[in-house]
């Protein structure tokens, strides 16, 4: 009888176990993985009792660092929250700032070998630990933080949310292209950081907030001696950008001066709010919201009502002081549409111009009537990938015209007919100068140091034949 009871109990336990979620043993080890024709390495941390369907955090070290640094550090948090942590190892590469080679990340913003490496780690951990692909998060310190920004460009459809500490795009890694979708982003930076310079962060914030389409007027909270926190809140179809400015912090991968008393915990609590299924407007590429109450565009890289210029953005350029961090509109190859509202005196027009920097090639030049909502399709071809400046001009500095609701979107299949009709009003000639001249095309766009084909132009407010 006892034997029968024991057999039935064992059978019952087996049956119960069949329905349970698989649990994994604790792991803290170095793992080699083949990516293409290379062997790459990462440090893997799996907390005791991890179950299938868990999240994954990928945390990248800074330049000259190692995966064994396990920084930013998440192990203790993972023990409680039950997620996997992968600490990838950067490759040897040349850093001009150091004058030589060291370990780091090619944070170019393009879909490169480092992006392929991170995707390979995810694939392997999905296979081995059945992690939830919808809840994979990316973060990093210093150059690893720069690569986090780069992944927000190249892998926006891979990671659900992003966080950087003491790192943003600068120098050779200054590009901040638009990705496939807006992304939730958290940035933590020390006010005493003069390596990845804190004083340059306002430009990065401006660029990211516009890319997210977030409210450019932040909700602020300050704790004396600890931090200033700015929340650029999400609007319809967008995500927030959150910026912590930390008192007393230099160039570090950790601080206790956040709301949670632990910068990594602050990142995790931000991450866990999002999955890849969190709704957003995937067509949204750039929405500066310059008409928002309390926002002063001139303080954020815009030229406003200067002569015939109604609005202009992206007129900055590299200097030794700014480490290649300046305001510009950065677009990848693809088809887009520029939408805005023009209001003013009846019969007046607005000239719109999108020009590549630094070679000044025009990709868009149109004249539109005021008093209507405007949609202009345009295409960035492979050779035109890069940085742009955008301007809205009027026929006379006395014209009372306003431009609002500016937004760049990815063009959809419904826009195909419009692309067949694209015809710019100005020749796509690479102008060599950047200073304003006195010669204008009939579109109202200034022509600067370019060779003029025969035609009618505006000089000093008069039409002339040249």
Residue predicted with more confidence, 5 or 144? 144
Contact between residue 138 and residue 58 where contact means Cβ atoms under 8 Å apart: yes
* 191-229 confidence digits (pLDDT tens): 999 999 999 999 999 999 999 999 999 999 999 999 999
What was the pLDDT predicted at 421? 55
pTM over 0.95? The answer is: no
Contact between residue 343 and residue 401 where contact means Cβ atoms under 8 Å apart: yes
What was the pLDDT predicted at 451? 52
- Check pLDDT > 50 for residue 176: yes
Domain count, the chain: 2
Return the closest-CA partner of residue 169 out of 410, 409, 387: 387
- Check pLDDT > 60 for residue 427: no
Same domain, 23 and 134: yes
- Check pLDDT > 70 for residue 441: no
Please report whether residue 441 resides in a domain: no
- Check pLDDT > 90 for residue 239: yes
Same domain, 266 and 290: no
Average pLDDT score over residue span 243-268:
98
Same domain, 75 and 212: yes
Min mean pLDDT across 18-22, 99-103, 431-435 is at: 431-435
For residue 313, what are the β-bridge partners? 302, 390
Same domain, 133 and 66: yes
Average pLDDT score over residue span 453-459:
53
Same domain, 212 and 338: no
What was the pLDDT predicted at 263? 98
* 46-56 confidence digits (pLDDT tens): 999 999 999 99
Please report whether residue 451 resides in a domain: no
pLDDT band at 37 (very low <50, low <70, confident <90, very high): very high
Please report whether residue 95 resides in a domain: yes
Helices (H) then strands (E): counts for the chain: 7, 28
Same domain, 256 and 353: no
Please report whether residue 152 resides in a domain: yes
Percent of the chain at pLDDT > 90 equals 73
Same domain, 298 and 422: yes
CA 296-109-59 angle, 5° bins: 100
Same domain, 95 and 143: yes
CATH code of the domain containing 290: 2.60.120
Contact between residue 230 and residue 242 where contact means Cβ atoms under 8 Å apart: yes
Same domain, 417 and 396: yes
Please report whether residue 435 resides in a domain: no
Domain span at residue 266 reads 19-271
Percent of the chain at pLDDT > 70 equals 84
Same domain, 241 and 320: no
* 342-398 confidence digits (pLDDT tens): 999 999 999 999 999 877 889 999 999 999 999 999 999 887 778 899 999 999 999
What was the pLDDT predicted at 361? 87
Backbone φ, ψ for residue 5 (5° rounding)? -60, -45
* 271-319 confidence digits (pLDDT tens): 999 999 999 999 999 999 999 999 999 999 999 999 999 999 997 788 8
What was the pLDDT predicted at 429? 38
Please report whether residue 7 resides in a domain: no
Same domain, 186 and 107: yes
Please report whether residue 92 resides in a domain: yes
| Boundary-marking domain end, from 211, 236, 271 | 271
Please report whether residue 384 resides in a domain: yes
Same domain, 179 and 73: yes
For residue 28, what are the β-bridge partners? 45
Alpha-carbon distance 449 to 364, whole Å? 18
CATH code of the domain containing 66: 3.40.50.1820
Contact between residue 42 and residue 33 where contact means Cβ atoms under 8 Å apart: yes
3 state DSSP class of 412: coil
């Amino acid at each position: 009888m006892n034997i029968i009871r024991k057999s039935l109990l064992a059978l019952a336990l087996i049956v119960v176990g069949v329905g349970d979620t698989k649990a994994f043993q604790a792991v803290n080890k170095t793992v080699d993985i083949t990516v293409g024709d290379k062997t790459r390495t990462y440090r893997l941390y799996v907390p005791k009792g991890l179950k299938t369907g868990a999240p994954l955090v990928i945390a990248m070290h800074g330049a000259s660092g190692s995966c064994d640094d396990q920084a930013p550090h998440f192990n203790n948090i993972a023990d409680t929250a039950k997620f996997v942590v992968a600490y990838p190892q950067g490759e040897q590469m040349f850093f001009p700032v150091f004058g030589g080679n060291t370990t780091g990340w090619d944070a170019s913003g393009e879909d490169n070998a480092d992006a392929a490496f991170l995707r390979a780690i995810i694939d392997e951990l999905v296979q081995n630990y059945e992690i939830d692909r919808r809840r994979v998060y990316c973060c990093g310190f210093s150059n690893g933080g720069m690569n986090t920004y780069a992944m927000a460009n190249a892998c926006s459809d891979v990671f659900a949310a992003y966080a950087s500490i003491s790192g943003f795009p600068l120098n050779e890694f200054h590009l901040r292209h638009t990705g496939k979708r807006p992304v939730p982003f958290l940035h933590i930076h020390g006010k005493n950081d003069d390596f990845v310079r804190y004083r340059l962060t306002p430009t990065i914030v401006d660029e990211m907030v516009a890319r997210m389409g977030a409210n450019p007027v932040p909700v602020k909270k300050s704790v004396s001696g600890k931090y200033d926190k700015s929340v650029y809140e999400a609007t319809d179809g967008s995500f927030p950008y959150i910026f912590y400015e930390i008192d007393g912090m230099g160039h570090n991968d950790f601080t206790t001066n956040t709301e949670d008393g632990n910068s990594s915990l602050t990142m995790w609590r931000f991450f866990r709010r999002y999955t890849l299924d969190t709704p957003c407007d995937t067509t949204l590429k750039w929405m500066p919201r310059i008409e928002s109450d309390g926002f002063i565009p001139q303080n954020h890289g815009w030229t406003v009502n200067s002569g015939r210029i109604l609005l202009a953005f992206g007129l900055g350029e590299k200097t030794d002081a700014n480490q290649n961090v300046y305001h510009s509109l950065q677009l990848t190859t693809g088809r887009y549409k520029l939408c805005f509202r023009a209001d003013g005196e009846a019969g007046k027009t607005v000239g719109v111009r999108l020009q590549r920097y630094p070679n000044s090639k025009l990709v868009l030049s149109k004249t539109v009537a005021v008093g209507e909502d405007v949609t202009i399709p345009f295409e960035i071809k492979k050779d035109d990938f890069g940085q742009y400046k955008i301007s809205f001009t009027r026929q006379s500095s006395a014209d009372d015209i306003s431009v609002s609701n500016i937004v760049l979107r990815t063009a959809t299949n419904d826009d195909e007919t419009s692309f067949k009709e694209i015809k710019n009003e100005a020749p796509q000639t690479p102008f060599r100068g950047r200073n304003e001249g006195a010669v204008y095309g009939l579109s109202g766009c200034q022509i600067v140091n370019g060779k003029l084909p025969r035609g009618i132009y505006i000089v000093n407010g008069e039409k002339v034949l040249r």
